[in-house]
Amino acid sequence: MGFKEGEIDDLVIYGPVGCPTCKGGGYKGRVGLFELMEVTDEVAKAIGAQVPEDQLRKIAVQEGMTTLREAGLQKIREGVTSIEEVLRRTVVTEESLPAYLVHPDIEEYQDGDFIIRQGNNDKDFFKLVTGAVMVVRDGKKIAEITQPEEYFGEMSAISGEPRSASIVSRGRCKVKRFPGDKLMEVIEKYPEVARHLFKTLVGRLSHANGIIVKLANDRMRTAAEG
């Protein structure tokens, strides 16, 4: 809807109850929601360049313009109106969202190109659009990613550790790049990212547990034979 995650726990929401005075409607009078665009230097430059309307809105929001939805959220915070009324009267526009959430960068790679290099400290993560990529560790291919919509490279964004493997294009491929330092915002915009990260962590923990069990069994077997 637009509330920040950090304010949800302490947010108090009011709704209409109704009484004889309002004839059961729950509201008295009207409250205006306003969206006012101040013509700052950047906005003026955009107007002079005749940029498209959606781009102008993005610039205006970046310059501090309050959208109708945000004006409505503020009225909810103040207890002036309800969530239902704000949802009815306003919408979340893509122009009010950061560009990296609305249109993540799409990159194209040729066969053998490195998308991620093992040991690097960059934190961006990716989603496969078309084609396939190989996971290479210490010069050896250990896996392939071939399914469109599959994410990769997210572990460094989560852990902050250097890249544990390289990702190399197999043939031509296209990927979407997401900024690792904005991971929480990306998760809020794309819930499927959170689902993927959870599945990835569970899978890797399961794999690690399998390796530990195998090593323990091998040691027990060696001890028994000795």
Same domain (yes/no): 172, 119: yes
Question: Is residue 150 in some structural domain?
Answer: yes
Residue 192: which region, alpha, beta or left (left: phi > 0; alpha: psi -120 to 50)? alpha
CB atoms within 10 A of CB 186: 20
Q: Which residue has the tokens 């190989």?
A: 134
Question: Is residue 225 in some structural domain?
Answer: no
The residue segments making up the domain with residue 57 are 5-97
Domain boundary among 73, 97, 121: 97
Same domain (yes/no): 76, 20: yes
Domain count, the chain: 2
Same domain (yes/no): 108, 79: no
Enumerate the H helices of 98-153 as residue ranges: 99-102
Same domain (yes/no): 61, 77: yes
Question: Is residue 207 in some structural domain?
Answer: no
Tens-place pLDDT, residues 43-76: 888 888 887 776 777 778 878 888 888 888 888 8
- In angstroms, how far is the first alpha carbon of the chain from the final one? 65
Tens-place pLDDT, residues 85-120: 888 878 766 555 555 555 567 889 999 999 999 999
Per-residue pLDDT at 102: 53
Per-residue pLDDT at 173: 94
Question: Is residue 198 in some structural domain?
Answer: no
Same domain (yes/no): 74, 121: no
What is the pTM for the complete model shown?
0.47
